[in-house]
């Protein structure tokens, strides 16, 4: 569950700022069969290595499915041409948490391909959302800032309420939340945190590239006393990040971990899953053939029970 990230990735993305994505209009065409690509994560835990080189915890798959979407796994050992074809076939990308070394890993290299494709697509009106959780959040900040802005923001195995900013009330992420649930987010420990690193509020605001690209929707105070950014959304692009783990609220149960399971915690996870999948509905990408779509879906694979040696209940290995 830890997201230990050493980010030394090199990127050449120029700072991009502009008008925020438009609210959905009744006449906008929607895709009612959205498919979200989940980038596989590299296996680093010794206990998991016998089962595969990369993996996706089933909690992320169930999370997308609970929001009304389907999932295809994006393997890391594919060519750029194959990734470009996948990009044209899916309706959003989920970057999960994990423990890859972002200096040398295939995870970082592949994520950067999709990030650049998404920037280019959105610039010409081809809507494509990206969501980053924990390490995925950290990677998004690096790709935008073009430098490693991480520092120690220890929040290991702890659930926290959110300190919502003034921008949260007008955000797309929280737009569908009823007032009582937004209030609960600030008063109850509804967000599970499992990280040692993050971006502090001071550093975030001090980066012109980062603060120009993303709005800060919430912050939290780490165990070592620093304030870190915990939720963000793109000002111009439909890119979103949470330093916490909404998927655990509904789909992870290991009693050794502080997974929030209250009624409000479940409601938070449900609304966020629906939000991101609904963002994917605005993408009209699709497979050229039904047969190719059927073969790509994660339904063709079976997860392995791993609760006896990991924090997860089930994991897909590749």
Residues catalogued as catalytic: 134, 245
* Cβ-contact 141, 149 below 8 angstroms: yes
Cβ count near 208 (within 10 Å): 11
* Cβ-contact 272, 129 below 8 angstroms: no
Cα distance between residue 20 and residue 3, in whole Å: 29
* Cβ-contact 96, 246 below 8 angstroms: no
Residue by residue, DSSP assigns 205-243 as HH-HHHHHHEEEEEEEE-TTS-EEEEEEEESSS-EEEES
Beta 239-242 vs 130-133: how paired, if at all? parallel
Three-class secondary structure of residue 148 per DSSP: coil
* Burial of residue 190, with CB atoms counted within 10 A of its CB: 0-12 exposed, 13-18 middle, 19 or more buried: buried
């Amino acid at each position: 569950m830890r997201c230990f990230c050493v980010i030394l990735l090199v990127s050449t993305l120029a700072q991009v700022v502009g008008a925020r994505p438009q609210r959905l209009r009744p006449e906008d065409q929607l895709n009612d069969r959205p498919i979200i690509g989940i980038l596989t994560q590299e296996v680093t835990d010794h206990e998991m290595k016998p089962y595969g080189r990369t993996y996706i915890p089933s909690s992320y798959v169930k999370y997308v499915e609970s929001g009304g979407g389907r999932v295809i796994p994006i393997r890391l050992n594919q060519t750029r041409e194959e990734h470009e074809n996948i990009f044209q076939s899916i309706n959003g990308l989920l970057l999960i948490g994990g423990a890859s070394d972002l200096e040398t890993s295939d995870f970082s290299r592949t994520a950067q391909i999709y990030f650049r494709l998404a920037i280019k697509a959105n610039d010409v009106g081809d809507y494509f959302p990206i969501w980053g959780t924990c390490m995925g959040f950290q990677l998004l900040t690096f790709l935008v800032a073009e430098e490693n802005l991480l520092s120690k923001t220890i929040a290991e195995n702890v659930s926290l309420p959110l300190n919502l900013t003034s921008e949260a009330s007008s955000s797309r992420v929280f737009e569908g939340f009823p007032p009582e649930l937004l209030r609960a987010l600030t008063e109850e420990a509804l967000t599970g945190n499992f990280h040692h690193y993050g971006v502090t509020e001071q550093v975030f605001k001090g980066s012109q590239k980062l603060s120009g690209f993303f709005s800060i929707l919430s912050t939290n105070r780490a165990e070592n006393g620093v304030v870190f950014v915990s939720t963000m959304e793109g000002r111009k692009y439909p890119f979103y990040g949470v330093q916490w783990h909404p998927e655990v609220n509904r789909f992870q149960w290991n009693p050794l971990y502080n997974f929030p399971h209250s009624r409000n915690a479940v409601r938070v996870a449900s609304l966020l899953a629906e939000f991101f999948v609904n963002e994917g509905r605005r993408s009209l990408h699709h497979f050229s053939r039904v047969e190719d779509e059927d073969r790509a879906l994660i339904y063709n694979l079976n997860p392995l029970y791993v609760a006896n040696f990991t924090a997860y209940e089930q994991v897909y290995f590749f």
